[in-house]
Amino acid sequence: MSEADHQRPCPSRPVFALVAVAAAFVFAFSQLGRHLAGETVRRHASLTASKAPHAGREVPEGPPTPHLDEPNVHLSLAEESHSSPKQGVRLIHFKNAIDPTLPNVSAIVRTYEGDGPKFLPLLMSLLAAAEGHVNLNVIAVNVERAGRERLRDAVAHVNELCERPSVHLELDWVYEGNHVPEKNAMYGYDATDAMLSRILKETRNQRDAGGWLLVTNGDNLYASAFFEAVKQHMNGPAAVIATRFLTRYPMPTEFGKVANVPLTPAPHMNGIDLGCYVSRMSRIRELGVNFVNNTANIRGADGLFAEKLKPDGEKFVMIPRVLFYHQ
């Protein structure tokens, strides 16, 4: 808003009161922002599912399960981040110091220039959901060459709000000798495998073999209860833990094709969304699973990845809560 060219009279006391009220409103709104994603998703949780039943077991919500001690280590990628917090007094918004009693989770966030302003809310929703439940380390990887400065700014901003800078930005990855393309014809799964290979190497000596893996896109959102819910099953036999989710894509229902309908995942091609599940790193190591299989099925790589982990019976847990939004 531009200012008037003429000189304005000195504001009266009511004007100062109005300014104070406005400032208080802005502060309150900023405090609510970190949990906006979770509350938005939960408002849709009562909608009716349209997907067929899954092959795994549905686990009702219950009391938290005790945890085994986890190693007091974290992904060194976070230490190498180009985005370090400023010196001096700063606001700590996310208390994410490493807790050896919590599970370790490595998250790969694949992002395009088109994600734009959605990228920052995605990172903040992950960090808010992780706080007090898992030790989260994030690798944000640009799928294509465009939009690098925006990514740097977003990662720097988020790390400044963290007690421990946990988001690493990877701008110059290489997959099988190929560098970051101008236009990615593999839907970012080449970048995903490049980051997965790095995580497997860097977490090899952890007592929990790296804990768990989450892969998502830079325009998604997570409910604040996402990690709290999946953590309850991390000490069990599960190789894949998934939650119900929403998607902006219209899905067939009895009322025709409708967007934002709660979907129930199943661990096979075209049955699960990339960002709605975590997978056990030791299982990935054991079976040598990756995302890029062949270019013919590259669009279904998210479901094929889950399928190759062979999550039969108790090895697949589906939490019947809508905790993820595929935008």
Convert the pLDDT of each residue in 217-257 to its tens digit.
Answer: 999 999 999 999 999 999 999 999 999 999 998 988 888 99
Confidence at 268, pLDDT banded by 50, 70, 90: very high
Within-domain flag for 83: yes
Task: Select the more confidently predicted residue: 81 or 156.
Answer: 156
Number of structural domains found in the chain? 1
Q: What range does the domain containing 309 cover? A: 33-326
Query: What's the confidence (pLDDT) of residue 40?
Result: 43
Task: Identify whether the C-beta of residue 292 lies closer than 8 Å to the C-beta of residue 298.
Answer: yes
Contacts of 56 (CB under 8 A, 6+ apart): 266, 267, 311, 312, 313, 315, 316, 317, 318
Q: Is residue 21 part of a domain?
A: no
Q: Tell me if 8 is assigned to some domain.
A: no
pTM of the model: 0.74
Is residue 88 assigned to a domain? yes
Q: Is residue 19 part of a domain?
A: no
Which neighbouring-strand residues pair with 178? 175
Integer angstrom CA distances of residue 326 from 271, 303, 322: 14, 15, 11
Q: Does residue 14 lie within any of the structural domains?
A: no
227: in domain: yes
Question: In this structure, what CATH number is given to the domain that contains residue 299?
Answer: 3.90.550.10
Contact criterion met (CB below 8 Å) for 10 and 223: no
Q: Can you give the pLDDT at residue 42?
A: 43
Evaluate whether residue 245 is within a structural domain.
yes
